[in-house]
Structure 1
Amino acid sequence: MSELLLLAATGLAREVLLTVRASGQYDVLGILDDDPQLLDVLIDGAPVLGAFEDAAMFPKALFAVCLPLGRDREAVVERLTQSGVEGNRYGTVLDPDIRLPDDCRIGPGSILLRHATVGPQVSLGNHTVVMPSVTLGWALQAGDFTTFSAGSSLGEGVRVGRGVHIGVNAGIGDGLSVGDYSSVGMGAAVVQDVPEYETWVGVPARTSLPGGGLAF
């Protein structure tokens, strides 16, 4: 069984611990976090073993970046890349109840939690997070570091860019696109394409905050 280290002592890390313990997919060694006050603290039974920079001390372990925002995950992956951690060192965490069609692609470092529904020909980039009860329609494509919050639903043929954040219970209509580093607010109903680096909220969704500000 492969060893796994979780990066960041967050609520998402707790979700991942539950998932991995249910699936038996990995042997979780512990957690790395940059908060020095957490050193040696137990998080749901998993010890905090050091900071992110200590990843090199575990040459055989895989990693899962457990930060809820894609931009934060991207920053940690870049830090680890500069310290010599390669892309093949990231594990993919799947809830044991998820049924993936054979023609799906799930990028390394991705996390898919309970009750997620993934349609045929879905392609998810590296370090994607799919929270509970998300629905991803047929042939959806998502870039690296995308976050699908709990209860969000995306239709067939949707295109989601890099670093996008889809809010809780948001909906994206068939065939639409959401540009890089944009965010869709909680409960929003998207009925037209979302440009990159914008935040859209409301029903129907409209632009709200410039520069990709998050509206959960």
Structure 2
Amino acid sequence: MADLILIAASGLAREVLASVRDSGQFDVVGILDDDPARAGTALDGAHILGPVSHALNLPDAKVVVCVGAGSGRDRIVDRLARLGFPDRRYATVVDASVRLPEGCHVGRGNILLGHVTLTAGVTISNHVVVMPGVTLTHDDVVEDFATFAAGVSLGGGVRVGRAAYLGMNSCVRERTVIGAGAIVGMGAVVLADVPAGQTWVGVPARALETAAISGGAR
């Protein structure tokens, strides 16, 4: 069983801990966190060993970044890369309830929690977080650092851009594009492409400014 280090003493780290302990996929040897007040303490029984840079001092362990925001994961991965941390050391954590069909591709540094469904030809790049109950259907493509809250559903052929965030129980129509850094609100129903960097909410989903104006006009 490979050793695993979690980066960031977060709620997501607790979820990863629970999943890994249940599946036996890895042996968690500790957590790294930059908050000096947390050094020497523990999170759900996992010891906090020191700052993120200490990952370089533990060369035999795999690493997964447990920061909820995609932009935060991006910053940590970039920082470690500049310190010489090799990409090959990033692990992907897949809950025991998740089936990975032949023809699906899952990259490095990803977290797939309980009862995530991948159907056929799904591609997940690197450092993506997929929370419980998410459904990714045929030919979906997910770029680096994207984040899916619990219960998100994508139709077929959807592309989700780098560091985009899809809120809890939102759904996206087939062959739709969610742009890089875009945010889709909780429960939103996306029927059209969401431009990069925009926030869309509502049913059907619209840009936040448009939705606010429409709501005030009623």
Bin the TM-score by the shorter chain. over 0.9
CA drift at 1:40: 1.1
Equivalent runs, 1:103-122 vs 2, <5 Å: 103-122=103-122
Q: Identity over aligned residues, as a percent?
A: 49
Per-residue CA deviations over 1:48-75 (Å, capped at 9, x if unaligned) read 0001111111011110000011000000
Say whether residues 1:155 and 2:155 are aligned partners.
yes
Q: Distance in 2 between the 1:138 and 1:15 partners?
A: 27
Question: TM-score by structure 2 length?
Answer: 0.94
Q: Tell me the residue number matched to 1:213.
A: none
- Structure 2 distance, partners of 1:164, 1:89, is 24
Cross-structure match for 2:54: 54
CA separation in 2, counterparts of 1:162 and 1:150?
19
Q: Secondary structure at the match of 2:49?
A: strand
Matches within 5 A, 1:120-131: 120-131=120-131
Are 2:65 and 1:65 aligned?
A: yes
Distance 2:40 2:122 in 1: 40
For residues 26-61 of structure 1, what are the alpha-carbon distances to aligned partners after superposition, in whole Å with 9 as ceiling and x for unaligned? 110110001111111110000000011111110111
Q: Secondary structure at the match of 2:195?
A: coil
Q: How does 1:161-176 map to 2 (within 5 A)?
A: 161-176=161-176
Larger relative helix fraction:
2
* Structure 1 position 115, deviation (Å): 1.0
Equivalent residue, structure 1, for 2:75:
75
Partner AA of 2:55 in structure 1: A
Shift of residue 97, structure 1, vs aligned partner: 1.2
Letter in 1 for 2:22: A
Q: Does 1:12 align with 2:20?
A: no
| Partner-residue secondary structure (3-state), 1:13 | helix
Secondary structure of the residue aligned to 1:4 is strand
Give how far 1:86 is off.
Answer: 1.2
Letter in 2 for 1:123: T
Partner of 1:137: 137
Offset at residue 2 of structure 1 (A): 1.0
Aligned to 1:198: 198
The CA deviation at 1:208 is 1.4
Instruction: Give the residue type in structure 2 aligned to 1:113.
Output: L
Helix, strand or coil at the partner of 1:74: helix
AA paired with 1:22?
A: D
Q: How far, CA to CA, are the matches of 2:133 and 2:194 in structure 1?
A: 23
Structure ID, larger Rg: 2
What letter is aligned with 1:90?
Answer: Y
Aligned length: 210
Unaligned runs of 5+ in 1: 210-216
The match for 1:92 is: 92
- Matches of 1:123 and 1:83, distance apart in 2: 29
Asked whether 1:189 is paired with 2:189, we answer yes
Aligned alpha-carbon RMSD (Å): 1.1
